[in-house]
Amino acid sequence: MKPVMTQNEFLRQLPATILDKFDPHAELVQIARGGGDKALMNRVDFIYFPVTCVYSLEMSMADGFTSHIGLLGYRDAIGARNLIDLNLPGVPRVILSGYAIRLRSDVFAAALSRSPEVRCVVHDQFVRMSHSLGVTNACNLRHPLQRRLARWILNLNYVSRLNCFGLTHEELAHFLGVRREAVTEMLARLTQAGVLKTSRGRVEILDIVALRGFSCECDQGDQANVEDVRVDRPRGVERDLRVVGV
């Protein structure tokens, strides 16, 4: 088995026998930032398992605007939802370039059909994403921008395992659904406090402990849920999850 396969948390949770079957078909590919990935979500030819790249899950609105609703990274599989009868909103768009493991959908679908373990890991990802969407919704309604900004940067650190990101104020404003000027003001406060360093198109975390102090509790809620998901898995899900793709 290629050692890189265990650097994606979704794959790492699968039994070694399954990974050995994936191995001859798995390729490490470079994923470039930018561009809408609508086509990716409508295709069923590949599943992507991010290693270092990060996706924003974006929802298109009737007026043409897209709203950011979540982050996907090394814990996730991108495109697995094409193969099962669960649905979640949003289209993934690459926001941090990097590497991902690519696997043909028919290979993954065959394992999904045969293996309860694979179905459980897919189910866990959906529960974790649903939880994250709920927390983000509550956070957006309740918590001030300063805390939401700190929380969002912490979450990006969590899904990317990086401390420095190529991000403009404009992009951060899009992810938080606010004006760019408001983000610039909040970033200036965090910079003055020595928590972040910002330069043209870059944001660097200097003091992650202090950044957690600026964040709301929603960041910890997301991380704790990674463990809760396994406890909350409903009985029989590995049997009942229906494979519909390929």
Q: Which stretch binds Zn ion (CB under 5 A): 67-75, 108-116, 119-127, 213-221?
A: 213-221
CB of 139 to Zn ion, least distance (A): 3
Could you say whether residue 143 binds Zn ion (CB under 5 A)? Answer: yes
Region near Zn ion per CB under 5 A, out of 36-44, 152-160, 215-223, 234-242:
215-223
Q: Helix and strand tally (H, E) in the chain? A: 11, 9
| Interatomic CA distance for residues 145 and 150, integer angstroms | 8
Nearer to Zn ion, 129 or 243 (CB): 129
Tell which residue, 137, 139, 166, 161, has the closest CA to residue 150. 139
Cβ distance 150 to 208 under 8 Å?
no
- Our finding on whether 96 is near Zn ion (CB under 5 A) is no
Is 7 or 215 the residue whose CB approaches Zn ion more closely?
215
Task: Give the pair of three-digit tokens for residue 104.
Answer: 């043909």
H or E stretch covering 116: helix 116-142
Binding mask 100-139 for Zn ion (x = CB under 5 A): ---------------------------------------x
Characterize 5-17 residue by residue with b for buried, 16 or more Cβ atoms within 10 angstroms of its Cβ, and e for exposed. Answer: bebbbbbebbeee
Q: Is 212 a binder of Zn ion (CB under 5 A)? A: no
Among 216, 229, 241, 243, binds Zn ion (CB under 5 A): 216
**Residue 153 C-beta: closest distance to Zn ion, Å:** 13
Taking the least distance from each CB to Zn ion, the nearer of 211 and 218 is 218
User: Any idea what DSSP says for residue 233?
Assistant: P
Selected binder of Zn ion within 78, 176, 195, 218 (CB under 5 A):
218
40 closest CA partner among 50, 65, 176: 50
Among 20-28, 68-76, 82-90, 216-224, the segment contacting Zn ion (CB under 5 A): 216-224
Strand partners, 59: 67
**Residues at the interface with Zn ion (CB under 5 A):** 139, 143, 216, 218
